[in-house]
Every structure is written in C-alpha cells, then in structure tokens.
Amino acid sequence: ESNDATLASVPQSLPALLHAHKLQKKAARVGFDWPSVEGSLEKLHEECHELEQAVTSGSNTDIEEELGDILFTITNIIRKKELNAESILQDANKKFRRRFTAMESIATSHQKDLQDCTLEELEAFWQQAKLCQQP
C-alpha cells in the first residue's frame, strides 16, 4: 500500500458504524491509534465538553460535528475492546423497549396515560421500570 492509500480499500458504502470501525482499524495498522482504551476515553470526555460548548453556542452545524466526533470516538472504544457496535446498540434498543413497555404498564396500573404525565411522573415510572427490569 502506498502512503496515500491506507484508507482507500475501506468502502464508503458501508453502514456508518462499520465504516468508522474499518477506518480506525486501518489507521491503527500504521500506528495512528491510542495505545490503550484510556486514551480513547479521555478523547470522549474532550468531545463531550466540545458538544456542551456547541449546544451553548446554538450552532446546529457545530452540534452535528461534535456528535459525529462522539460517535466516532465511541466506535473507537468499542473497537479497542473488540466488541460489536451494532449488537451493542441493538441490545440497548431492546433494553429501552423493555423498560419503556414496563413504564407504560406501571403508568396504566396508576390509571395514567403517558401523554398526561408530568416529566417527574414519567421519571418516577421509569425508575420503577428499571428496578423491575434489572438485567
């Protein structure tokens, strides 16, 4: 591989999480990688701080850029831990669905419709659902 072709073999048509993973893996092969996951975690904290600044400034362009950096950094942590981003997000989706459904049931048992609840009531039902749905 020539010096300008390190990333050329990574298809741009891949789904975004897989594309990020493969880009990072290729870059790591030439030494462009944090030596440990701790470096990636520090980068995540830095990017979260930059997101806070972007939200404060109100610029959607800056917010999108920082969110992209956060997703890319999270993908890096997942890669370094040799995990699968897609299955991690699928599991998180399933957990959210289980808890939200439990929250709806709890609200119903209190004769409440979710859309009529205050945010505080919803949070209380969510916390109850979390207790009922421990993994």
Taking residues 40-51, what's their average pLDDT? 97
Reply yes or no on whether the pLDDT at 80 is more than 50.
yes
- String of DSSP letters for the chain: --TT-TTTTS-TTS-HHHHHHHHHHHHHHTT-S-SSHHHHHHHHHHHHHHHHHHHHHT-HHHHHHHHHHHHHHHHHHHHHTT--HHHHHHHHHHHHHHHHHHHHHHHHHTT--GGGS-HHHHHHHHHHHHHHT--
The average confidence (pLDDT) of the chain is 92
Q: Give the model's pLDDT for residue 4.
A: 65
Q: Give the model's pLDDT for residue 1.
A: 44
* pTM summary value: 0.84
Reply yes or no on whether the pLDDT at 134 is more than 90.
no
